[in-house]
Amino acid sequence: MPALSSSERRALRARAHHLRPFISVGEAGITTPVLGEIERCLRSHELIKVRVLAGDRHEREAMIGEICRALGAHRVQHIGKILVVYRPRPDDPAQDAPARKTGRHGGAGQQPRARRKATGKR
């Protein structure tokens, strides 16, 4: 995976500024369920913040390195206990997207029928 340029990182930091952390990593560290949840968030959002509550600065550096290696993501920023991670969405979204459920109105493309306006007359 090619590294991000400084201008790409700057643009991603600007996009991530208003985000809130999706995941909080506690005392247990990076576990399989935590990696799975980060994977799901990256698949749907591509740019996320992760809050690491445990460890010192060097342990957090190691954790962000582990996350990026395990999930094929880029490290964008690390400030204090907040890590910003980016992984671009796949080119073919239909390949990675879950199947859509059909609602009570049939398929996803169908609109519900319009209701008649009440006129007060019968």
The residues spanned by each domain of the chain are 6-90
pTM value > 0.95: no
CATH of segment(s) 6-90: 3.30.110.60
Q: Give residue 9's pLDDT.
A: 93
CA atoms within 13 A on the CB side of 37: 12
What pLDDT shows up at residue 93? 52
Question: For 21-30, b where at least 16 C-beta lie within 10 A, e where not — what string?
Answer: ebbebeeeeb
Three-state DSSP state, 20: coil
pLDDT tens digits for the chain (122 residues)? Answer: 678 899 999 999 999 999 999 899 988 888 999 999 999 999 999 999 999 888 888 888 888 889 899 999 999 999 989 999 999 987 755 544 444 455 555 555 555 566 666 676 66
**How high is the pLDDT of residue 37?**
93
Overall residue count recorded for the chain in this entry: 122
85 closest CA partner among 44, 53, 38: 38
